[in-house]
Amino acid sequence: MRIGELAARAGTTTRTLRYYESRGLLPARRAGNGYRTYDESDLRLLRQIRTLQDFGFDLEETRPFVECLRAGHPEGDSCPASLAVYRRKLDELDSLIGQLSGVRDTVARQLARAELAAEAEAPGGPEPQCELGGDW
Amino acid sequence: MRIGELAARAGTTTRTLRYYESRGLLPARRAGNGYRTYDESDLRLLRQIRTLQDFGFDLEETRPFVECLRAGHPEGDSCPASLAVYRRKLDELDSLIGQLSGVRDTVARQLARAELAAEAEAPGGPEPQCELGGDW
DNA sequence: TGTTGCCTTGACGCCAGGGGCAAGGATTAC
DNA sequence: GTAATCCTTGCCCCTGGCGTCAAGGCAACA
């Protein structure tokens, strides 16, 4: 199959496939006319890449999975290098989520404080909000 | 005060201050010789920007806070536009944290599954890990 | 008078992951 | 025959927030 068909079947673009090839991630055979040629196994590699990318893995992090599949393993994560990437990613995610949660709480506190200050500055203002019900 | 001093006092660089100016975020007066001139209130604006940047706000999101201070309000978040940014950021953070948590759990499951498969494939292998204790 | 040291503008680089276009060759359909 | 698709390579563009020169001007101190 040629590049357009592979791209269509994987739900991506030819530009992306050429980019992966330029990174050495998904090299293609060439037909006599210079056209890139792919087979079903390439589709499998490509799907592995896209799945991990959807998880937020960057391209380099998908490399061990791709090489694992190319080496004949049944799954991209059947190799130690892939497991190492999983573990590192898990740590990264935990750290990032922790950080973001901290920021989230800080922002929430700032918001609450600023809202209180605004309400104090505009007493009996335009937003009584929830007291004693509205007109419904 | 000139640009180098302001940068030093805010813990940032002159390049950064010129960049902010190019974005219209922190314009400077000019001395007769063309040098940028700042005062204490600029330092305050700059600190507001840096604080929000540290929270992961991008530059444009800091603009309402800066304008609020410049308008004479005691705090950068004393204005409705700033509160709106807080709320939007809070939503973004919640959404992002939720997404990342989902990915985290997926990766964790994949890792556990792949580790089990690897162990099944190498029975009595090199990592008995926690059963019946080691040599200690 | 030189030599630092700060200042000015302008311009390119960088990171990822491609988008988009140009100029041309190959193939296929009618 | 020729028009419509496909394919090729190569090149510049984009985002954010600056870093890093480069070439030159201004100020202060010895």
Within a domain: A17: yes
- A87 vs A134: which has the higher pLDDT: A87
In this predicted structure, the answer to whether residue B106 has a pLDDT above a threshold of 90 is yes
Residues of B in contact with A110 (CB under 8 A): 77, 86
Note whether residue B107 is domain-resident. Answer: yes
Tell me how far apart the alpha carbons of residues B66 and B47 are, in angstroms, rounded to a whole number. 10
Do the Cβ atoms of B111 and A55 come within 8 Å? no
Contact A77, A86 (CB under 8 A): yes
Domain with residue A96: its CATH number is 1.10.1660.10
**pLDDT (0 to 100) of residue B68:** 97
- Domain with A67 in it: 3-116
| pLDDT score, position A124 | 54
Residue A134 lies in a domain: no
Q: What is the pLDDT of residues B32-73, one digit of tens each?
A: 999 999 999 999 999 999 999 999 999 999 999 999 999 999
Indicate the SS3 state at residue A37. Answer: strand
Mutation target to probe the A interface, by most A beta carbons within 10 A, among B78, B79, B86, B87 is B86
Mean predicted confidence (pLDDT) in B16-38: 96
Q: Which tokens in the block code for residue A60?
A: 């380099």
When pLDDT is averaged across residues B4-31 and rounded to a whole number, the result is 96
Specify the higher pLDDT residue, A129 or A29: A29
**pLDDT band for position B128 (50/70/90)?**
very low
Decide if B50 is inside a domain.
Answer: yes
Interval A4-38: pLDDT, tens:
999 999 999 999 999 999 999 999 999 999 999 99
Positions in chain D where some atom is under 7 Å from a protein CB: 6-9, 16-20, 26-27
Chain B residue with the nearest C-alpha to that of A116: B78
- Rounded Cα–Cα distance for residues A124 and A35 (Å): 73
Q: What is the mean pLDDT of residues A92-96?
A: 95
Whether residue B9 lies inside any domain: the answer is yes
CA B113 – CA A55 distance, rounded (Å)? 17
For residues A104 and A117, give the distance between their C-alpha atoms in angstroms, rounded to a whole number. Answer: 20
Rounded Cα–Cα distance for residues B75 and B69 (Å): 6
Asked if the model's pLDDT at residue A132 lies above 90, the reply is no
Question: Is B132 a residue whose pLDDT tops 80?
Answer: no
Give how many domains chain A has, as a whole number: 1
B105 occurs within a structural domain: yes
- pLDDT for the residue numbered B117: 86
Establish if A123 belongs to a structural domain. Answer: no
Per-residue confidence (pLDDT) for residue B34, from 0 to 100:
95
Residue A127: inside a domain:
no
